């Protein structure tokens, strides 16, 4: 078989230079067409694979009332009445409509937060390092997702801290990291604080608490919203 080939190859090589040049053009164009043919279907497929997860979904008309619970990313969570005066953090679910690819599921929990009515003035540290004072009576809201690897923290009355069960991160009630018995806290930053807006209800002092709920990337020093 190889003898046969060598003989043939020899023939080709013996021919005039003109044939060789033609052959190159032929081979190049063949290769090009072949590559394009392979690329076509792959690009069609990759288009959806790569770009679809970045698409913004529109809320179906029936639920898109433009008013009510969700206003510009703020979700109604609780009323100020439901928070104890002594500043014990209370955990609340955040309810919203959810898209799961082809399913639209209204009124689903999308996350949870700790709300606290501050019993006294509290100093907190912002992301840029500056300090700020939250006044007594103000509402403080912390995301329950631990910034380390994403587990949920919970309030421990005994140690008056927010504890993460996965890798032992501990946080003060104002969200800052706590070092316990010399052991370093694996969380890269303090608990993520969320903005709140209060809306008065018709009678009395009771107010509705709206939380600007969002998720943040875990495992990094910066507090960067997931987008």
| Whether 137 contacts 120, CB under 8 Å | no
What is the Cα 27 distance to its own chain's centre? 50
Q: Are strands 122-125 and 131-134 parallel, antiparallel or unpaired?
A: antiparallel
Contact pick of 19, 20, 21, 33 for other proteins (by CB under 8 A): 33
Contact pick of 60, 109, 137, 219 for other proteins (by CB under 8 A): 60
Which helix (DSSP H) or strand (DSSP E) does residue 7 occupy?
helix 2-14
Binding segment (CB under 8 A) for other proteins, from list 34-42, 71-79, 180-188, 209-217: 34-42
Contact pick of 16, 18, 61, 68 for other proteins (by CB under 8 A): 61
**Closer by beta carbon to other proteins, 33 or else 126:** 33
Structure-block tokens of residue 164: 């993460």
State which of positions 82-101 bind other proteins (CB under 8 A): 99-101
211: nearest Cα among 226, 192, 224, 189: 192
Q: How far is the CB of 21 from other proteins (least distance, A)?
A: 13
Kindly state whether residue 29 participates in binding other proteins, applying the rule CB under 8 A: yes
DSSP 144: S
d(CA 225, CA 217): 6
Contact pick of 19, 20, 21, 42 for other proteins (by CB under 8 A): 42
Q: How far is the CB of 96 from other proteins (least distance, A)?
A: 13
Binding mask 141-180 vs other proteins (x if CB under 8 A, - otherwise)?
A: ----------------------------------------
Structure-block tokens of residue 143: 């995301």
Contact pick of 10, 13, 85, 102 for other proteins (by CB under 8 A): 102
Contact pick of 19, 20, 21, 23 for other proteins (by CB under 8 A): 23
- Burial of 189-199, coded b for 16+ CB within 10 Å and e otherwise, reads bbbbbbebeee
- Burial of 50-78, coded b for 16+ CB within 10 Å and e otherwise, reads eeeeeeeeeeeeeeeeeeebbeeebbbbb
By the criterion CB under 8 A, which residues form the site for other proteins? 4-5, 8-9, 23, 26-27, 29-30, 33-34, 36-38, 40-42, 44-49, 51-52, 55, 60-63, 99-106
């Amino acid at each position: 078989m190889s003898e046969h080939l060598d003989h043939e190859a020899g023939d080709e090589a013996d021919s005039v230079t003109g044939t060789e040049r033609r052959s190159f053009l032929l081979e190049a164009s063949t290769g090009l067409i072949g590559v394009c043919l392979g690329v076509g279907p792959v690009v069609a497929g990759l288009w959806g694979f790569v770009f679809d997860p970045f698409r913004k979904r529109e809320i179906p008309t029936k639920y898109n009332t433009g008013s009510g619970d969700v206003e510009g990313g703020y979700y109604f969570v609780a009323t100020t009445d439901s928070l104890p005066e002594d500043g014990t953090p209370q955990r609340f679910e955040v309810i919203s409509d959810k898209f799961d690819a082809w399913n639209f599921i209204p009124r689903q929990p999308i996350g949870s937060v700790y709300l606290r009515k501050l019993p006294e003035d509290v100093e907190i540290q912002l992301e840029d390092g500056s300090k700020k004072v939250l006044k007594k009576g103000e509402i403080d809201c912390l995301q329950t997702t631990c910034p380390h690897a994403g587990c949920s923290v919970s309030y421990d009355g005994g140690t008056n801290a927010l504890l993460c069960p996965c890798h032992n991160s501990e946080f003060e009630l104002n969200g800052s990291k706590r070092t316990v018995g010399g052991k370093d806290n694996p969380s890269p930053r303090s608990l993520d604080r969320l903005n709140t807006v209060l809306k008065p209800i018709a009678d009395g002092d009771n107010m509705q608490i709206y939380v600007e709920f969002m998720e943040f990337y875990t495992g990094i020093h910066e507090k960067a919203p997931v987008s």
